[in-house]
Amino acid sequence: MKLFVDTANLEEIEALAPLGIIDGVTTNPSLLAKVGGDPRVVLKRICDVVQGPVSAEVVATDSDGMVREGRELAAIDSHIVVKVPFGKAGVQACRTLAHEGTPVNVTLIFSSAQALLAAKVGASFVSPFVGRLDDIGASGMDLIAQIVEIFQNFEFSTEVLVASIRGPIHVIESARIGADVCTCPPKAIEALFNHPLTEIGLQKFLMDWAKAQQPVG
């Protein structure tokens, strides 16, 4: 399973990239606004660091505007994946951009029916939001299982990109189900490294080694 980081903060991306675990980046207008500067410059720098798929979202709400913005975003770098919100306008824009050879990530997916429609028009990725479903008492992981099953049944090439990750459990469950990608905030990725028994074990090894180095007698 691929692991994307959900941030537009270049320092956070540069800190994770050398570890070799980050396959791509997802951004949105809110994340780009938080870091400031020219969004196109920021996106280009992210692409240069990651050398993998970088989702950049349109802000238009009509299909023609989405297509126009999508073409502009795609021109920034060959690694850009144009992100469009699900809806009739988004589906239409996805169809046009995909036919032009531009990879598209259809976001704000909350049902398997929505994922199916996005896949039918050639989306490269669909982004179901598991955390937000959990927040309202629904099961985000049940949705992931449904989408994975449907895509396997019909051999869609669209990848399931699990979004709105809250922590390691979401990542592990997504991997068990067979999702293609998880996109996580940096804190959630950091949490994947942590386990108290690892820390306890390391400290014990170090203490034992220190004792072994002490002079005898």
**C-alpha to C-alpha distance for 101 and 111, rounded to whole angstroms:** 26
Give the torsion sign (CA, 141, 56, 185, 51). Answer: positive
Query: SS3 for 128?
Result: strand
DSSP assignment of 190-215 equals HHHT--HHHHHHHHHHHHHHHHHTSP
Q: Which residue in the block uniquely carries the two structure tokens 């505007």?
A: 65
Q: Residue 57's beta-bridge partner residues?
A: 83
Q: Would you name the residues annotated as active-site residues?
A: 83
- The answer to whether 143 and 108 are in contact (CB under 8 A) is no
Query: SS3 for 96?
Result: helix
Q: Token pair of 179, please? A: 């999702």
**C-alpha to C-alpha distance for 64 and 47, rounded to whole angstroms:** 26
Q: Which residue in the block uniquely carries the two structure tokens 């240069």?
A: 48
Residue 157 is given by DSSP the state -
**C-alpha to C-alpha distance for 198 and 142, rounded to whole angstroms:** 31
